[in-house]
Amino acid sequence: MSKTALIFPGQGSQYVGMAKDLLENFSYVSAVFEEASDSIGIDLKRLSTCGPDTELNKTANTQPAILTASIAAIKVLDEETGIKGDILAGHSLGEYTALVHSGVIPFTKAVQIVRKRGEFMQDAVPEGHGAMAAILGMESDAVAELCSDAAEGEILSAANFNSPGQIVIAGQRSAVERAAELAKERGAKRAILLPVSVPSHCKLMESAAKSLRTEIEALNMGDFKIPVISNVEASAYPSTDAVADLLVRQLSSPVKWDDSVRQLKKEGVSLAIEVGPGKVLSGLVKRIDRDIKILNIEDAASLKKIEAENL
Active-site entry in 92, 200, 230, 253: 92
Residue 144 scores a pLDDT above 80: yes
Separation between Cα atoms, residue 89 and residue 98, nearest integer Å? 6
Would residue 201 show up in a list of annotated catalytic residues for this protein? yes
- Indicate the burial class of 244 (C-beta count within 10 angstroms; 0-12, 13-18, 19 or more): middle
Which pLDDT score is estimated for 196? 83
Query: What's the average model confidence in pLDDT over 112-128?
Result: 95
Active-site entry in 101, 201, 252, 260: 201
Instruction: For residue 185, count other CB atoms closer than 10 A to its CB.
Output: 9
- The residues spanned by each domain of the chain are 3-124+204-308, 130-197
Measure Cα distances from 31 to 25, 34, 41, 62, 169 in Å: 13, 5, 15, 19, 38
Would residue 92 show up in a list of annotated catalytic residues for this protein? yes
Residue 22 scores a pLDDT above 90: yes
Q: What is the CATH number that goes with domain 130-197? A: 3.30.70.250
Instruction: For residue 306, count other CB atoms closer than 10 A to its CB.
Output: 18
Which pLDDT score is estimated for 310? 80
Predicted TM-score of the model (pTM): 0.97
Residue 127 scores a pLDDT above 90: no
* CATH 3.40.50.300 for the 3-124+204-308 domain, yes or no: no
Amino acid making up residue 194: L
